Structure 1
Amino acid sequence: MDFEKWDECRSINKALIDFVEEIDNGSNMKKVVAHICQSGGKKTRPVILLLSSRICGSEIENALDAALAIELIHSASLIHDDLLDRGVLRRGVKTAHEVYGTAAAMLAGDYLISKSIELISSYGKEIGTEFGRAGMEMAEGEAMDVDLLEKNINNRVEYFNCIEKKTASLFAASAVMGAYVAGADEDTVSKFRLFGNKLGTAYQIVDDMLEYTTKVNNKESIHISPSLVDIYRQDMADAKAIEKTRGVVEQLVSEAHEIINQFPSSQSRNKLHEITNHATSDLLPEVGTRKC
């Protein structure tokens, strides 16, 4: 999938470049933010927002500020995640706090969140509420993640509660906000919310699974959160735990595709199918893969 050539992805990348260019040169902020925004990433969440908006009858231009806000708050969450995990590398690049220090990284995160609020303020109450709620849930999820790590909790219910908040919440908000931009009804919004929740949950399970089985995406952290594989391994062999985890992901992805198929046939719907697979099933490790 030539994802980077999609109009949606190009629009987000251009918006990010323009945003960085507008930052005042009077402080170190521009360098830190540029380091964060130019370090790669698939832009999955903002692209989902743009696609959901198109499926509901709107155009990219109408939803671009909302999509950029999603990308900026996601980037801010990565800064915080790296600080909490004492991350050294992300996407093969040194993390912001490793290059510029903890204080500069924290302030850049504050800057990104503030800019995302400014961008979202031009939309209606539903979108603002959705965005704010996602931000709070992400923070709650990260706090739960710290508890899971510190208390060595390997509990399936706690794990799903955690990842649904820290990761799936922003996927769901992205899909929902795109629908709201286009003026979709509440039934359609509910479908997008469920789609985003299932995709986001599957995405995080795969991400944790890849950290369990091997070093992936050139990401290196001192603290690694528990995975669903770790939880299943309490009662079964390693290969069986990986196989069972794959089954959970495949079920969630299948359900996400079923929801997508409820929308009218279009190129945007096809892209939503593609990006769903690209972020989940296509990355699944093989059964029997061992941790490095």
Structure 2
Amino acid sequence: MTPGPLKPAVLALPFTSEALAGRLQEGLAEVDALLRREVDHDDPFIAEANSHLIEAGGKRFRPLLTLLAAEVGSGINPDVVAAAAGVELTHVASLCHDDVMDEATVRRGAPSANAKYGNSTAILVGDMLFGTASSIIADLGAEAVKIQAETFVRLCSGQIRDDRPTPAGEDPVDYYLRILADKTGVLIATAARYGAMFAGCDAPTVEILREFGERLGMAFQLADDLIDVASDAEESGKTPGTDLREGKATLPVLYALASTDPADATLRELLRSDLREDETRLGQALELLRANPAMDRAREHTSAVAKQAQDALAPLPDTDAKAALLALATSVVTRVG
């Protein structure tokens, strides 16, 4: 596999010092180089398929968080870089599986793995990437392996429950937020946890960064849910309305469905219908939902979760790293892709 240009589109960190920004960029370059080495393969087709979504770019949000969390401790080192790469590969592997489940056609502005290679290959590539991630983490010690395994179990359990209706007697919003903590929050929590661990932070600081990461991850996914409704494919690099097409009740949908306003009757009817094969009705649902107060309510909740993440950092001393983590929480909820 011939290396191409570095493509990570790092989220803006307006309060990051020039020195810290330089260290993060150098660290991300090291992570990117490690990713390329690890996904390479003697079989050219497997090498291409393994690297497809990595070459497509992405924000490298999780490895960035690992590197930034390390700056709370002694800073970026080879173990931190390896942990960051392991987390990113776990994430990319999950994307391969998610896109098969969602029948998505676009990911990171490029054809999804399932659209390019078919469902069977996309699933197997995801499995290979999970295996590669586990191999990297195994070199970091037994505790890291245990964390990776626990993270993977929670990630999968969240994804399974996300694919099923809310159980009878459960509050749909509370149930959905618990799903997000597992489906997205846990891996981002692990990204921050690894950074602190491998930069020598004490146990209380590691726990602060883990809690921050989980809240940040929930805010990240809630923002993604809003992007799925509010942005177009060119802005977000994803197919708009994917969640609606698949009948997934994300936070703005849940708020809209709970509305008793007669003016929302058409939207509620559309949201309860099968939109998978009806692009016209899907477009109508998107248009109505974009203009509905449910979107503002969901945005407010997303901002509140990001604020909870920021509040978790209160015990840490004021440093460039802490300022950047606070800024990252803001960037998560103001992005468009």
TM (normalized to structure 1)? 0.87
In structure 2, the gaps of 5 or more residues are 1-10, 14-20, 262-288
Q: How many residues align?
A: 281
8 Å contact kept, 1:85–1:224: no
Matched, 1:157 2:174: yes
Deviation for aligned residue 1:148: 3.3
Q: Which residue of 2 aligns with 1:274?
A: 327
Q: Choose 269-278 or 108-117, whichever is displaced more.
A: 269-278
Matched, 1:96 2:119: no
Supply the distance in 2 between the matched residues of 1:250 and 1:148 (Cα, whole angstroms): 26
In structure 1, the gaps of 5 or more residues are 285-292
Supply the distance in 2 between the matched residues of 1:154 and 1:224 (Cα, whole angstroms): 18
Give per-residue Cα distances to partners, 1:215-262, cap 9 Å, x unaligned: 351312452522111111123366332222122111111222222343
Matched, 1:244 2:262: no
8 Å contact kept, 1:45–1:171: yes
Q: 2:53 aligns with which of 36, 40, 61?
A: 36
Q: 1:253 aligns with which of 295, 302, 306?
A: 306
Q: Which residue of 2 aligns with 1:121?
A: 138
Secondary structure, counterpart of 1:280 in structure 2: helix
Q: 1:12 aligns with which of 10, 31, 36?
A: 31
Give per-residue Cα distances to partners, 1:151-176, cap 9 Å, x unaligned: 9x981122112111110010111111
8 Å contact kept, 1:168–1:201: yes
Deviation for aligned residue 1:141: 1.0
Supply the distance in 1 between the matched residues of 2:229 and 2:185 (Cα, whole angstroms): 20
8 Å contact kept, 2:77–2:199: no
Runs of 4+ off more than 4 Å: 1-5
Q: 2:41 aligns with which of 23, 28, 48?
A: 23
8 Å contact kept, 1:44–1:275: no
Q: 2:255 aligns with which of 198, 217, 232?
A: 232
TM (normalized to structure 2)? 0.76
Q: Percent identity?
A: 25
8 Å contact kept, 1:168–1:196: yes
Larger Rg: 2
Q: Which residue of 1 aligns with 2:197?
A: 180
Aligned CA-pair RMSD: 2.5
Supply the distance in 2 between the matched residues of 1:273 and 1:38 (Cα, whole angstroms): 29
Matched, 1:87 2:87: no
8 Å contact kept, 1:127–1:180: no
